[in-house]
Every structure is written in structure tokens, then in C-alpha cells.
Structure 1
């Protein structure tokens, strides 16, 4: 079982699935000591000085501001406090979930400073590296004049922050000094329906790639309860590689409707020669997670896709009657 300190440290660092990489080199790419960190005259806030801190690490968009160079703590700079800027998912005030930016501050930072001044270890050797990678937080150190810098975080042989840094990040009493809402992640309606806020139109994806075969002589399965989730795709995304739809309505599909839907999805009607993207599509998923997922275009070409968990998706042709059966529950 993890200790409370380890849990806090992981929360501050963030976790991403990645291979073990990194060389422990400094910000200039050399194997030696990193260059001194750039000192900025006055700290204002995470919202001003680090507005994009905590965004997905794979995002390629440039930063909204020119952030200072990360590096070693200059001997002439005496830190008296630390600040972390990040993002997390929280329940929304009216249900659902939202992404919130946070600013936390700590002043009992002696162990953290000691850990940050350690050297990075050489990569490789006989150490077995695990797949999860701890992502360093957006961290700033402040001095008594209000100046600040971004310290280099020393890494271990697997390219992750050294264990001493993880432990030290859990030591101070972090105080949340500011939070701000970035965007909704899941609406209250989607949460109540048990649906994701966004989903990809897999009928379009599969047909665009030319993979699914026609629905063959399959036996209509005795399916358990199905959840219906309906999504609307913005016009600007409808012909993209993976058109993402936003939740519109959903919930448990009524038993009497489910029988009719499954019969409609078992037909062997020829698939129309059509390339019109759907503006709305439905996703039907078994409540128990077993069995096939089913995708239905509610307009456009009116096709459907049966996607068994074992693979081998099959394409079929729906109609207005099937679309009507998948109306609001």
C-alpha cells in the first residue's frame, strides 16, 4: 500500500504511460551540470506566468507566453517558497466534471531544495525500468524579493524524477491559493446517462479506411441491457479522420425498444453507396461490458457497424425506422 506521502507526490507530479527514456542530461543537452535557471523579476500567478501548465504533455501547440529557461538554482538566489501550477479533474458545481487549473504554494521547502540540488543519474545500467513515467510538475521557486525561477529536476537512471524529489514534494504543507475553471469535461446530463462526453463516429472511421465487411448471416445475440449514447458532430469535423461527437442524450435503452433495435441490426440489406457524413450517431454498449458495441448513423448514409470485442467489425444498412428507435429515452 502506498503511503500518504507517496500518493501526494504522485498527484503533484502527474502520471503518464510512457517508455523509460531520458538521459539525465541538463537543459542544454549535455551530460554535465545544467546551466543556471533564468531569474524572473516578479511572480504574479499561475494564470499569468504559467497559463498552460498541466496540459497534456503530447500537445504540440506553442506556449501562450515565453517561459523562463529551466536550470540549476543560482547560489545568489535564495528560495523561500515553492509554487506548483497544474490541472486536475473535479466534480462540477451542477454535476458532471470540469477541468480546473490550480496554484499551490509551500514555504517549508528545505528538503525539496536539497533534493533539487542533487545531480541526475546516468541512464541505463542494470536497473529495471517500469513503464509508467512520472511527469514533473510545473514548479517555481520564489525568493524574498518576489523573484522566481524554474529549477531543473534531477532524474534517476530511468529518466524519472529522483526518488528524493518525489519524497520531498510530499513534505511541505501545500496550500491551494487559486483555482480557475478551464473547461467542462463531462456534463451533468452525460454523467447521469452513464455516457462519455465525447465519442468518435466509428462508422465513418471504419468505412473511410475501407475495413469492415458486410453483415453476414449472424445470429441475433441474446443481448443483456444496452446503454444508448447519442452524439452530434460539429460540421467542421464531420469529414475528418476521427470525427468526435458531443453528447446529446442517452440512458438505458428500454427493453421493448431494444428487441426492435437488435432485429433491425440483424438485417442483411445491401449497404448503400454513400459518402455523406452523419451529423448525429448513436452508440449502443452492453452494460456488463461483454458483447458487441454497435454504432448507428442517425442521418447521412444511415449505416450501422457491429463491432465484436474479438474484432472483425461488420457494416450494415439502417433506415429511418432504426433511427427513430434510437430517439431520446
Structure 2
């Protein structure tokens, strides 16, 4: 009899493989999916699968471009005659300025007869005593393209544990894949940010908060005796400005000098009315206590010059100015 541990592995792997088919935990074999949806006009991985293989590597990750709805994964229609296969994914490589970069890749193969034969195999049935491991297999983002430019997402036949059949794995490793496109989609590290204790990316929470619900006005003036603060400043690319959660890249930072910190805290305690403004900031500052406790403070360094103080008591919005921005200049 199959152990509950084995059954859990089959269920998880079936979820990872996705598509129209599921996994029958009692029989240990994936249910047969329907036909794959055929889509007109293949363009590129950047359009069809902008998030394929996406890596989550930082507290805040830049949102990918909006994608078209994912077509239904399924069996290859006998009337559909693929002439090429495309793999969309991500890789990590050293960055030009240090650290590492996420690179989105598009690879294509023309000699795909062995792959097509493997994709047309049935799911393998188990005998009820198969020992399955708990590792989750995430299949590649694979598309097949015909000579008219139409494409589909093929289902990957599974073994008794819900993983791709060995023939599929071998066929995917067999063709001579040619890289036809690469693009940088994000950084995994930034030596300058690491050196001062800042994250390489962060989101403009002033913009996020003002778009999802108006925070309360600022409270009393913050005590100048507050503990030391770390300043991290981020640049928001034009493509991110005005989005749902604009992500900025680290520019500069470090421990805020005591005399500047006192001025910043006084400015963040003002009770001026917040200006009615909808101009996205191209730069913003994040102020966090060095000891990790206490509120987080966000300041728009241009645009509307607003600031936000977030603590366990809630979020408070206030109005800054160019003088406050200058106090948060390079250290």
C-alpha cells in the first residue's frame, strides 16, 4: 500500500505539472488532459511568457510586463504539425557592475521529432508500490510552433510519481537548442547596496499607499532622540513610474548623519496639508532604524514630495518639500 508520504509527493508534483490533467492519488497516474489550445501568431517569449522561470530573490521584485492569458495546456491535436519548439526561461549570470543579473532567455529547436514522439506518449501507470520522492518538478515553459506561426503549450506525459516521463526529459535535453533572444530583467545583488545594508530594489510605498487607501495625516513631531537611521535611496525607471507597485533600483545610502537625521525627523513631523498631486516620483528614500525596530519612513524626493510613516499603529501620510529632499541627498 502506498504511504501517505508517497501520496503527498504525487499530489504536489501533479500540481506543479499543471495543465488540464490532474493526478489520481489512488492510482498514481495523471488523468488525461484535453487538447491544447492553439494560439495564432507566435511572436516571442517576451510577449507570450514574460514571467516564465521568474526568480523571487528580493523582498520586493519588479513586476513583469502584463502578459496575455496563458493558453490551455493539453495534448497535441493530430491536425497541428509543429516545425519548431521554443523554451522560455530565466538564467543567472554575473552583472556588468557586480552582483548578479536575471536574464530571460528564448531558445528554439528545429529537429524535434524525438520530442514530439515523447510528448505523444501516454501517462505511465504505477503498480501501487512505487517509491516516489518529495522533490517538486517544475516543468519548463515549452511551446510548439507550426509553419503558419500558430503555437500551443503541450502537456508533458508523466510517470507514476507525477513527474515528466524519462522519455520527455531525455528529448528535452536532446535537441540542439539555439538561443535566439536574451534580455536582462532584474538584478540579484548589488555590491554597493550590500555594503551599506540596503536592498538592491524596493517599492515606492508612498505611491502604493495613496493608490490603495488614503493613510491618516502625520502624528506629533518625532523625537529627535530616535535611534540611528539607515538611508536607502532608489531610482524608479520610467517604465515603472505610475504602475501599481513601482520598483526602484538602489542609487545610494548609508547611516544618516546625526545632524541631518534631526532635521529629517522634524520635517517628517510637520502637519501641513497634503497637496492634491498625482505626479509619480522618479526617486524615493527609505529610512529604517539600524536596529530593525521602529517605524519605516518613505519620502518622495521629487514628484509630489509626499512622505509616509508606517508603524504598528498604521500608516500616516504627510507633505514634504525640496528642503527635506536635500537632507536626504548622498551621504
Identify the TM-score tier after normalising by the shorter chain. 0.5 to 0.7
Q: How does 1:147-158 map to 2 (within 5 A)?
A: 151-154=154-157
Instruction: Show the counterpart of 1:204.
Output: 207
- Deviations 1:157-177 (CA, angstroms, capped at 9, x unpaired): 9xxx92244895379756664
Change (3 A) 1:223 1:155: farther
1:212 deviation in Å? 2.9
2:294 equivalent to 1:297:
no
Secondary structure at the aligned position of 1:223 is classed as: coil
2:50 equivalent to 1:55:
yes
Secondary structure at the aligned position of 2:51 is classed as: coil
1:327 deviation in Å? 1.0
C-alpha distance in 1, partners of 2:274/2:152? 61
Change (3 A) 1:178 1:311: farther
1:294 deviation in Å? 1.2
Report how many aligned residue pairs link the two structures.
274
Instruction: Show the counterpart of 2:56.
Output: none
Instruction: Show the counterpart of 1:274.
Output: 275
Whether the aligned pair in 2 keeps the contact of 1:118 and 1:154 (CA below 8 Å) is yes
1:328 deviation in Å? 2.0
Instruction: Show the counterpart of 2:142.
Output: 138
Change (3 A) 1:223 1:102: farther
Secondary structure at the aligned position of 1:214 is classed as: coil
Q: How does 1:1-329 map to 2 (within 5 A)?
A: 23-24=20-21, 34-35=34-35, 52=47, 54-56=49-51, 61-62=67-68, 71-72=75-76, 84-95=87-98, 97-103=101-107, 117-119=121-123, 134=138, 136-140=140-144, 151-154=154-157, 162-165=162-165, 169=169, 173=173, 177-178=178-179, 180-186=181-187, 192-194=192-194, 199-208=202-211, 209-216=213-220, 219=223, 222-232=226-236, 234=238, 240=242, 242=244, 244=246, 246-247=248-249, 249-256=251-258, 259-260=261-262, 263-264=265-266, 267=269, 269-276=270-277, 277=279, 279=281, 280-286=283-289, 289-308=292-311, 310=312, 312-329=314-331
C-alpha distance in 2, partners of 1:296/1:178? 42
Unaligned runs of 5+ in 1: 1-14, 26-30, 39-46, 122-129, 143-147
Change (3 A) 1:244 1:50: closer
C-alpha distance in 1, partners of 2:248/2:235? 5
* TM-score between both structures, scaled by the size of structure 2: 0.57
1:228 deviation in Å? 1.5
Change (3 A) 1:167 1:237: same
RMSD of equivalent CA atoms: 5.3
C-alpha distance in 1, partners of 2:37/2:208? 46
Whether the aligned pair in 2 keeps the contact of 1:71 and 1:152 (CA below 8 Å) is yes
Is 68-77 or 209-218 further displaced after alignment? 68-77
- Deviations 1:47-81 (CA, angstroms, capped at 9, x unpaired): 97756464226965449xxx9995248699999x9
C-alpha distance in 2, partners of 1:168/1:299? 54
Change (3 A) 1:59 1:321: closer
Whether the aligned pair in 2 keeps the contact of 1:103 and 1:178 (CA below 8 Å) is yes
